[in-house]
Structure formats: C-alpha cells, structure tokens
Structure 1
C-alpha cells in the first residue's frame, strides 16, 4: 500500500506542486501550463520521467479532460449536465468510482476490489488530499485522476464566484 498527500501551493504560477508519500518525501511533481488554452498538467515521477498528461478540451460546452498515462492508457473526465448536484462521468477507465465524488471522498474500484481511497482534508488553506492506493500498479493512474478532478472542481468554484 502507498499513501500520498497532494497539497497544492496557494500562489503557484501555472500550478506547480509536489506530491509526497506518508513520510513527507517527494514522489511526484506536477506542472500546470501557464496559459489556460488549453490548460494542461504534466505529472512527473521523482526521477523526472513523465507519467501522465492531463489536458482540458478547449471546444466543449461542459468541462472535459483527457488524461493520457505514460503507458499509453487514457481516460476522459467530463461534467454531465445537471441542475442539482454536479455529476461527472469517467470514460474508458474500466473502473468504478464510488462515494461522494464532489466532496472528494470516494473509492476507486476494479472488479469490485478497492484500488484506492481518496479523501479531501478540510479546513486547510489549499486543496489537500489523502490518497491511499492498495495496489501500487495504480499509483500513477490514481494520482492523475485526483489532479484532474481537483482542477474540474476549481473551475466550477471559479465559475460560481
């Protein structure tokens, strides 16, 4: 099992931050593009190897992100039209997300087995997430998923202000 803490920097130009393990050692580095069109995030491991790229689709009525992992796998996160609580769909993941997606308290399951638990730590100045991955082969995918979901939430928050 691997445990990570994702804590974004409050005043980071473009969205640069480090993801640490349970001991506080850096594991991943995230670099967001400076300009919003198209907004992209690149996730690197500690050795500097690209593990994923997250890109916001520009010409889309509702937010939509394509996530491409270094191993060639990809999935899409898109917001569905809803009048009440926000609803999102994750396409091409071959996994299930259970729990409260909007409040960032959910599980990632594959074949009814829990792969990861993701929970937001509240009462912090910046977005902070605790991520527990039970099968380490899914570390990169889970980290990339959380970063994409957090950015979708940030867009929603900014749009409502």
Structure 2
C-alpha cells in the first residue's frame, strides 16, 4: 500500500495529512507547538491518536521515541557505528530492530527488518519538493509504525543538517 506524504517539517506546529493510494485522508501528523521538546501525534482519519512521536531531551545522540497508548513502543536514533551518515536504527520494545538507510534528506531510503525491505520511501515520482511516497511492501506490516519511522528519521536528519 502506498501513502502520499506532503510534509511541512520546517513549520513548527503544522499539521499535514498522509493520503492513501486513492487520495483519501488516511493519517494526520499533528505537530504540537510550544512544547519543551519536539512532539507529534500520528492520528487516524477519525482523529484517534495511534502513535506519539517525541524528541528525547536528555540523550547523547539525537533520539526520538514512539509511544502507543501511552506505552513505549520504539526508539529511533542514528546508527552509532555506521560509515554512512544516513543510517538509522529503530529499536522496538519487543527486541526487534529495524534498519533505515539511504538518502534521507533526498527522501530516498528504505526500512528493513533482517535485510528484508518493509517500506520504500521515495519522491522520484513527484515534482513537488515536499511530497514523497511511503510504499509499505508487506500487507501484515504496521503502516502507522512505518510512517512514523519515516517522519522521525526525516525530522532528525533535517535537524542535524540545520545544526551542522
């Protein structure tokens, strides 16, 4: 299933819709302005919060945490021992590790589990700069989790570029 994201990550507090292949609103990324740390909520089309994405404030490396129903689900951080700058790791609380690699700032990367692709993120099909697709490759995969991972990784890479 492909999802179309028209991100507005530059503006603080902006909300934006993620559409499905049919052009219907599938998820809302709700930015929470005026918070001490960067916080986003991923909501379904009815407004139900599916995941909360939070910047981890006291961390040696940039880290974002994902929560589902108030409970920790995963942490996202740049991979420590990687030759590639655009290499991130997602550690789920159940011990599962996802690998994110590619050209993050160009919106050309993939999310893998044990070298098997779960999602491909690309904007090569779109002319608009802030638009990219998240193609969830497996029907059993948690689309909301993979979309949240893509949003986190892009947000972290953008912040890292701004501070460099």
Equivalent of 1:94, from 92, 96, 102? 96
Structure 1 residue 69, shift from structure 2 partner = 2.9
The change in CA–CA distance for 1:10 and 1:71 in structure 2 (over 3 A counts) is closer
Residues 117-144 of structure 1 show CA distances to partners (whole Å, capped at 9, x for unaligned) of 2224476343x22111133441111111
Q: 1: distance between equivalents of 2:99 and 2:81?
A: 18
Are the counterparts in 2 of residues 97 and 106 from structure 1 also a CA contact under 8 Å? no
TM-score, structure 1 length as denominator?
Answer: 0.80
What is the aligned partner in structure 2 of residue 26 from structure 1? 25
Q: Name structure 1 gaps, 5 residues minimum.
A: none
For 1:4 and 1:147, how far apart are their aligned partners in 2? 12
Q: Aligned to 2:96, what secondary structure does the other structure show?
A: coil
TM-score under structure 2 normalisation? Answer: 0.78
Question: How far apart are 1:55 and its partner, in Å?
Answer: 0.3
Please state how far the C-alpha of 1:32 moved relative to its aligned partner: 1.1
Aligned length: 158
> Which structure 2 segments of 5+ residues have no match?
none
Question: Which residue pairs with 1:146 in the alignment?
Answer: 150
Match of 2:15 in 1: 16
Q: Which 10-residue stretch deviates more, 48-57 or 82-91? A: 82-91
Counterpart for residue 116 of structure 1: 119
Q: Please tell me whether the aligned partners of residues 10 and 125 of structure 1 are also in contact (alpha carbons under 8 angstroms).
A: no
